[in-house]
């Protein structure tokens, strides 16, 4: 099936840039996951940047381990992790291989075939059918990727706030590394 003329898959070079820039530019883009012939699509409305091993809130601050392996890999891949014994959360890996940075997807606005709530990183994964099977997945594949939203996409205003749930990270907890579309109803914590 030919891709829609109004949306285009983002190239590797989109992810191979400064993580804060990638985070902000992901807002308004479409996350696409094709499962069993069903194309689930959500508009990204809230994200957080995790900058690398020096960022004490980032998983990669613990160094290269089995869990963080994908974060250390090349850009444009999905890093999914399991937390609190029950939840999956999805990141997109940014910057060059060896630079362990990523952007956490925190909330989506449903576009097509999305069931249930999407306000929060774990709810987002549940609604989009994302779990351990997607960890390490190439975002230039045909079943999991991010696409531009098309020419009809409205202009957005971006809000910057501290990241959620990283109080253990000292001064890094106060950095303004959470970004969301101002006024959007699907933001998890406006």
Partner DNA sequence: CTCCGGATTCGT
Partner DNA sequence: CGAATCCGGAGT
Asked if 3 is part of the footprint of DNA (rule: CB under 7 A), the reply reads no
Instruction: Please answer whether residues 29 and 41 qualify as being in contact, where contact means their C-beta atoms are separated by less than 8 angstroms.
Output: no
Q: Give the span between the Cα atoms of 53 and 12, in whole angstroms.
A: 22
The neighbour count for residue 12, using CB atoms within 10 Å, is: 13
For residue 78, which of 22, 114, 132 has the smallest C-alpha distance?
A: 132
Q: How many residues lie near DNA (CB under 7 A)? A: 37
| One residue of 34, 156, 159, 164 binding DNA per CB under 7 A | 164
* Sole window of 17-25, 32-40, 52-60, 147-155 interacting with DNA (rule: CB under 7 A): 52-60
140 has which bridge partners? Answer: 145
Cα separations (Å) of 39 from 3, 35, 46, 97? 12, 7, 21, 30
Q: Give the span between the Cα atoms of 79 and 73, in whole angstroms.
A: 10
Asked if 188 is part of the footprint of DNA (rule: CB under 7 A), the reply reads yes
Asked if 183 is part of the footprint of DNA (rule: CB under 7 A), the reply reads no
Shortest spacing between CB 39 and DNA, in angstroms: 23
Asked if 57 is part of the footprint of DNA (rule: CB under 7 A), the reply reads yes
Shortest spacing between CB 19 and DNA, in angstroms: 11
Instruction: Please answer whether residues 49 and 103 qualify as being in contact, where contact means their C-beta atoms are separated by less than 8 angstroms.
Output: yes
Shortest spacing between CB 128 and DNA, in angstroms: 12
Asked if 122 is part of the footprint of DNA (rule: CB under 7 A), the reply reads yes
Q: Give the span between the Cα atoms of 82 and 85, in whole angstroms.
A: 7
User: Closer to DNA at the Cβ: 32 or 187?
Assistant: 187
Chain positions 74 to 113 lying near DNA, rule: CB under 7 A, are: 79, 81-87, 89, 91, 102, 104
Contact residues for DNA (CB under 7 A)?
48, 50, 57-60, 62-63, 65-68, 71, 79, 81-87, 89, 91, 102, 104, 117, 120-124, 163-166, 168, 188
């Amino acid at each position: 099936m030919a891709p829609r003329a109004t949306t285009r898959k983002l190239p590797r070079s989109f992810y191979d840039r400064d993580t804060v820039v990638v985070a902000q530019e992901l807002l308004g883009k479409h996350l696409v996951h094709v499962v069993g012939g069903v194309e689930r699509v959500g508009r990204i409305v809230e994200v957080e940047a995790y900058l690398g091993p020096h960022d004490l809130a980032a998983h990669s601050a613990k160094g290269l381990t089995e869990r963080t392996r994908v974060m250390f890999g090349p850009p444009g891949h999905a890093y999914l992790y399991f937390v609190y014994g029950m939840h999956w959360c999805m990141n997109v890996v940014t910057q060059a291989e060896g630079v362990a940075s990523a952007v956490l997807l925190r909330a989506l606005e449903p576009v097509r075939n999305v069931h249930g709530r999407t306000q929060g990183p774990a709810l987002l994964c549940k609604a989009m059918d994302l779990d351990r099977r997607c960890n390490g997945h190439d975002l230039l594949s045909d079943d999991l990727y991010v696409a531009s939203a098309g020419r009809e996409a409205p202009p957005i205003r971006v809000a910057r706030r501290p990241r959620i749930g990283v109080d253990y990270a000292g001064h890094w907890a106060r950095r303004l590394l959470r970004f969301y579309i101002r006024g959007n109803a699907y933001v998890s914590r406006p």
